[in-house]
Chain A
Amino acid sequence: SQQGEEDPQALSIQEGENATMNCSYKTSINNLQWYRQNSGRGLVHLILIRSNEREKHSGRLRVTLDTSKKSSSLLITASRAADTASYFCATDARRETSGSRLTFGEGTQLTVNP
C-alpha cells in the first residue's frame, strides 16, 4: 500500500511554465526523496531532503518539506519538453531498525507541451 498521496495525478503545461507537484505522507520520516521515471523505465533520483531541512534547491528544482503538515512539494521552473515524465515522492520512514525502505506515492504524470 502507498503511504503517500501525490497531487495532482496528472499535470499538463506549456514549455517555459513552472510545474508544482505535491506529496503528502502519514508517518514520521528520516528523509523524503523525489524521483523521475520516463515511460516505465528506471527511476532517476532528483533530490533528497532530510527531515530537519525545510527547503532544498538543485538546478531548476526546488523542494520544500513541512513535517508538521507531513507534506512536500516539488517545483520545476522553466519547464522543458524533456521534463515530461512521471514524478514520484518517496519517504524513508523513521523506525527502530536501520537501513532504507522507501514508500512511494502514486506519482504525478507531467506533460510539458512544446
Chain B
Amino acid sequence: KAGVTQTPRYLIKTRGQQVTLSCSPISGHRSVSWYQQTPGQGLQFLFEYFSETQRNKGNFPGRFSGRQFSNSRSEMNVSTLELGDSALYLCASSPVRGLAGSSSYNEQFFGPGTRLTVL
C-alpha cells in the first residue's frame, strides 16, 4: 500500500497570509490526525478527523482549522499566519479497528510532513 502523502512538502509564506495543507491517508484508513512539530514545543496534536467529523481537537487557536472529505483525504488551513506558525506539519492516518469507530488500539502512520516557513 502507498503510505501517507502530504502536499506540498515545503512552503514559504509571509505573515498575515493563509495556507492550506493536504494529506492523503493510506487506503482504507478512515482516521486522519494532524500534528505540529517545532523545536520549542515539540510535537503537538492539532486535531483528528474520522468520517468527515472532527473527533478530537488540541489546544490551538481558531486560526487552525481542518476538514476531511468523503474519501478520507484531509486538509488543514492556517489563517493569518504568524512567525510562530513556522513548523513541520505532520499528518497521520490510522486504520481504526474495534467498536464504534474507536481507534484506541491503533497505531498511527505518519506522512513525510510539510515544512512551513513564515517570513
| Interface residues in chain A, defined as those with a beta carbon under 8 Å from any beta carbon in chain B | 2, 30-31, 33, 35, 40-45, 48, 50, 88, 90, 92, 94, 97-107
Contacts and interface: CB of A to CB of B under 8 A. Distances in A.
A43 B104 contact: no
A43 B112 CA distance: 7
- Among A31, A43, A44, A106, max chain B CB count under 10 A is at A43
Contacts of B107: 33, 45, 48
A99 B108 CA distance: 11
A98 B104 contact: yes
A57 to B, nearest CB: 16
A66 B91 CA distance: 29
B81 interface: no
Given A42-B111, A98-B103, A100-B94, 18 more contacts: A2-B42, A35-B110, A41-B112, A42-B4, A42-B90, A42-B110, A42-B112, A45-B108, A94-B104, A97-B55, A98-B100, A98-B102, A99-B104, A100-B48, A101-B45, A102-B43, A102-B108, A104-B44
A104 B42 CA distance: 8
Contacts of A40: 37, 88, 113, 115
Contact of B56 (A30, A33, A43, A97): A97
Interface residues of B, number: 33
A106 to B, nearest CB: 6
B58 interface: yes
B55 A43 contact: no
B72 interface: no
A99 B102 contact: yes
B91 to A, nearest CB: 9
Contacts of A99: 31, 48, 50, 55-56, 101-104
Interface in B56-104: 56, 58, 88, 90, 92, 94, 100-104
B106 interface: yes
Contacts of B94: 100
Nearest to A34: B107
* Residue of B88, B104, B112 contacting most chain A CB atoms (<10 Å): B104
Q: Which of B35, B100, B108 has the most CB of A within 10 A?
A: B108
A2 B38 CA distance: 12
